[in-house]
Amino acid sequence: MEFNLKKIIKALLFSTSEAVSIKDIQKVVQRYHAQAAAERQPDLLEAAGEPTIVPAAQPVQEVIQDIIDQVPTLLTATQIREAVDALEAEMRDANDACRILQGPEGFRLVISPAYADWVRLLRGEPRPQRLSPASLETLSIVAYRQPVTRSEMEAIRGVSVDSALNRLLELELVAVTGRADLPGRPIQYGTTDKFLDFTGLRSLGELPASDVLSPAQISEWITRATTPVAVGDAEVGLPLEDQSSAAIATEAPPEDEKPAE
């Protein structure tokens, strides 16, 4: 049997609902070699009180040894990631009913969204509620601006975020991260690991660049929203000074200054 890292990883992910990390996969390989080494030394097992294994026939032993030799003694994180990425691409191209979700705790095999309703019906679960536009907008602000206070969110949105923020806290997509070093020490909020699972991101560094919610622009909007702006003539509908001068210059001369015919 040929050593196939992709199939082994898929089997490991299929065997558990928990996330499987790179270290978990590396430990499995280490245990494999430790077990193989122990099976080649039955005397050590007998001395330790473990049941011994009857040696197999020579051809079988050669096949087993050939399989063992194919398994690398050490798998690097890069090798594992490349295998997971290749497996994920194969499943996506085949329109597989499952897909691999990469989160901060590791890899998980999950049901593809296209088939999620069938699983939900089997379990008799209600259809999940979608986030409202207000909640999504507030969540985006927290994701790009975190740690962020309630007043900063409201300065950006221009409306109260109480309802949306409470909903995000209830869903554990957002959590309290600390207090700002500002008067009154307002509470700061940030995203959670559940948010990464919700968005399918491995880390916040994978957030797509946004022309709307970049930290620099948000800071600029906050400053602009909280800074008084002087109102000029144009804002209240009065003509500008140069426009007034031009209007005076183009006015018709008085009757007594008209040239004689």
pLDDT digits (tens, 9 = 90+) for 44-98: 555 555 555 545 544 545 544 555 566 777 788 999 999 999 999 999 999 999 9
Q: Domains (ranges, CATH) in the chain? A: 5-118 (1.10.10.10), 133-226 (1.10.10.10)
Q: Residue 158 to residues 134, 150, 170: CA-CA distances in angstroms? A: 12, 12, 23
150: number of CA atoms within 13 Å, CB side? Answer: 16
Phi, psi of 148 (to 5 degrees): -135, 145
Q: What is the pLDDT of residues 192-232, one digit of tens each?
A: 988 887 777 777 887 776 655 455 554 554 455 445 445 45
90-101 pLDDT tens trace: 999 999 999 998
Which residue type does 230 have? A
Question: Which pLDDT band, with edges at 50, 70 and 90, does 36 fall under?
Answer: confident
Average pLDDT over residues 101-118: 87
Give dist(CA 128, CA 191) in Å, integer: 20
